[in-house]
């Protein structure tokens, strides 16, 4: 590439001038309003259905800080532990961080459009597309590593969009390494971004940077940050590998490439498909987008990896903000400027229409009626049967009722038996909920052999009485002398498998507790 072409490339890369009515970050005031609306929406209506199954588990993990867990690296749990230490573990405190991250993602959508050369309208449309995407709105409404993951991917994409072949970018690569390293400490799937970036560096003019220290600095820094988790995995016998293999084999529905692609449409909003498909084509083929082609390649590599692994559709969600931003730039380039208010209005109305499927805007009975009126039925991503609610909502119901049943069973024990009893559950959701909600009943902390709970052990080492939740009584006959039915969860909205088995009181353990504990280990 000659000097003239280099100069032209730099001109193409330069962001559009920021208008005088743009606020901080070079974003129009409308983008900031959207970010504020997302935050307020999640904080005001998000608590309506209660804590999500995984949130109870994460709260339990936050009491057992480590460099890793069976199903995730440690970063999001460490942040949650800090939140608990400062604000407590009330529902509003647990939801504060994901709501803030959801707002930040909206702002990053606008920033990505700016980095791709978009003007005020492109920045607004990109932010709006992020705000109305059900996947992003849903992740902003409950605590998990996923809300962090979205921000790490978008931040890394923003840094990549600013790379040019003719500058060393040492500081920018150092920041990119920090972002990717922290991202890996949050969720291992950030490796897919790294893989896509590696391919992009080879296939685009950015390959010149491989002769400079920047990319190697970024890779080394990211790897160094990730080392403690790798050491934890090795010390524990690589439990995450077992977890992934079991989930793929026994839990998740296997999606082929076509089904995986089609699954993206409802996750991102069908209307947004027009944006991200246009944005992908623009990034890959438009001459003006040549400086940003790496972002399109990152998406293609991540798509290929996840599709070949038969992953859940939402796993690819973090790869879309750059594509939505690129699509917004394409729309801005159309000559029909008078239609811009119509475009914004259509996106807003379409977002409002699907928002109840992502966050608890409606009372549960009203939501079920709304779902039925639209001809929608809960969609499965796992092999478990569904009730009237999508699993994303159903996993917020039934925990109070379950705690009442278990508390009644515990009170039925004599004082001597209570001193020797443990509460054992089939899965981490039940155990986490009983730990959180059972405090007001004075229940001993529930334990489980599921995922990270397994490593925390059975609690009372000499226990020979157990209240057992979620297990088939027949499967326990070889381990206990006496098995009594104490009650059953009854909730019309909870997941059906939570109501399948009764709550049991078991006495007379026939084998050492530690042996029984090891037999029941399951990572999935």
* Whether residue 27 is found in the same domain as residue 153: yes
Residues linked to residue 467 through DSSP beta bridges, in sequence order: 423, 505
Q: What is the pLDDT of residues 179-195, one digit of tens each?
A: 999 999 999 999 999 99
* Whether residue 203 is found in the same domain as residue 279: yes
* Whether residue 171 is found in the same domain as residue 285: yes
pLDDT at res. 22:
54
pLDDT at res. 460:
87
DSSP state at residue 72 = B
* Whether residue 353 is found in the same domain as residue 370: no
436 three-class SS:
helix
Q: In what order do the strands lie in the sheet with 465-469?
A: 447-448, 421-425, 465-469, 503-509, 480-487
User: What domain count does the chain have?
Assistant: 3
Q: Does residue 144 sit within a domain?
A: yes
* Whether residue 67 is found in the same domain as residue 181: yes
* Whether residue 276 is found in the same domain as residue 325: yes
* Whether residue 232 is found in the same domain as residue 150: yes
* Whether residue 406 is found in the same domain as residue 283: no
Going by C-alpha positions, the residue among 183, 109, 141 that lies closest to residue 40 is: 141
pLDDT at res. 1:
35
Q: Does residue 524 sit within a domain?
A: no
**Measured between alpha carbons, how far is 132 from 346 in angstroms, rounded to an integer?**
11
**Measured between alpha carbons, how far is 472 from 489 in angstroms, rounded to an integer?**
14
Pairing of β 503-509 and β 465-469: antiparallel
Q: What is the pLDDT of residues 233-254, one digit of tens each?
A: 999 999 999 999 998 888 877 7
Q: Which domain holds residue 90?
A: 3-357
* Whether residue 260 is found in the same domain as residue 389: no
* Whether residue 409 is found in the same domain as residue 284: no
Of 373, 394, 415, the one marking the end of a domain is 394
**Which stretches of the chain score pLDDT less than 50?**
1-21
Q: Does residue 347 sit within a domain?
A: yes
Half-sphere exposure (Cβ direction) of 189: Cα atoms closer than 13 Å? 25
Cα-based distances in Å from 177 to 301, 307, 432: 19, 26, 34
Q: Does residue 235 sit within a domain?
A: yes
Alpha helices in 236-363 (DSSP H): 239-246, 257-268, 270-285, 293-308, 321-332, 340-354
DSSP state at residue 252 = B
Quote the tokens at residue 374: 């639209």
Q: Does residue 176 sit within a domain?
A: yes
pLDDT at res. 255:
84
* Whether residue 27 is found in the same domain as residue 170: yes
* Whether residue 345 is found in the same domain as residue 421: no
């Amino acid at each position: 590439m000659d000097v003239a072409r280099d100069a032209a490339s730099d001109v193409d890369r330069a962001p559009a001038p920021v208008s005088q009515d743009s606020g901080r970050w070079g974003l129009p005031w409308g983008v900031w309003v959207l970010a504020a609306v997302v935050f307020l929406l999640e904080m005001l209506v998000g608590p309506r259905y209660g804590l999500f199954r995984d949130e109870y588990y994460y709260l339990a993990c936050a009491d057992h800080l480590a460099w890793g867990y069976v199903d995730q690296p440690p970063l999001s749990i460490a942040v949650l532990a800090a939140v608990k230490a400062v604000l407590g573990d009330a529902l509003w405190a647990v939801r504060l961080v994901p709501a803030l991250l959801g707002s930040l993602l909206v702002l990053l959508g606008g920033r990505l459009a700016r980095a791709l050369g978009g003007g005020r309208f492109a920045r607004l449309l990109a932010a709006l597309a992020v705000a109305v995407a059900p996947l992003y709105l849903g992740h902003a409404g409950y605590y998990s590593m996923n809300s962090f993951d979205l921000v790490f991917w978008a931040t890394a994409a923003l840094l990549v969009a600013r790379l040019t072949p003719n500058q060393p970018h040492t500081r920018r690569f150092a920041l990119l390494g920090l972002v990717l390293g922290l991202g890996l400490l949050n969720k291992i799937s950030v490796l897919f971004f790294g893989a896509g970036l590696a391919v992009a560096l080879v296939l685009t003019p950015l390959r010149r940077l491989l002769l400079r220290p920047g990319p190697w600095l970024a890779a080394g820094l990211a790897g160094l940050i990730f080392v403690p988790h790798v050491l934890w995995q090795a010390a524990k016998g690589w439990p995450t590998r077992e977890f992934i293999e079991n989930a793929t084999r026994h839990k998740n529905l296997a999606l082929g490439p076509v089904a995986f692609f089609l699954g993206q449409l409802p996750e991102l909003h069908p209307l947004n498909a027009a944006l991200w498909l246009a944005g992908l084509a623009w990034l890959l083929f438009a001459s003006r987008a040549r400086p940003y082609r790496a972002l399109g390649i990152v998406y293609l590599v991540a798509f290929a990896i996840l599709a070949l692994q038969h992953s859940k559709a939402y796993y690819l969600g973090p790869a879309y903000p750059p594509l939505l931003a690129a699509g917004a730039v394409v729309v801005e380039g159309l000559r029909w400027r008078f239609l811009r208010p119509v475009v914004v209005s259509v996106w807003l109305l379409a977002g409002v229409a699907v928002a109840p499927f992502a966050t608890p805007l409606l009372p549960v009975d009203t939501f079920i009626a709304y779902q039925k009126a639209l001809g929608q039925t809960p969609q499965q991503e796992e092999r478990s049967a569904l009730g009237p609610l999508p699993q994303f909502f159903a996993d917020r119901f039934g925990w109070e009722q379950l705690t009442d049943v278990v508390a009644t069973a515990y009170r039925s024990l004599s004082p001597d038996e209570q001193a020797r009893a443990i509460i054992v559950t089939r899965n981490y959701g039940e155990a986490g909920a009983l730990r959180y909600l059972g405090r007001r009943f004075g229940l001993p902390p529930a334990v489980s052999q599921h995922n990270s709970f397994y490593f925390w052990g059975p609690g009372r080492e000499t226990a020979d009485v157990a209240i057992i939740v979620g297990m088939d009584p027949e499967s326990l006959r070889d381990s206990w002398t006496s098995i009594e039915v104490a009650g059953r969860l009854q909730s019309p909205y909870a997941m059906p498998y939570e109501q399948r088995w009764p709550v049991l009181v078991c006495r007379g353990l026939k084998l050492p507790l530690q042996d029984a504990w090891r037999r029941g280990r399951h990572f999935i």
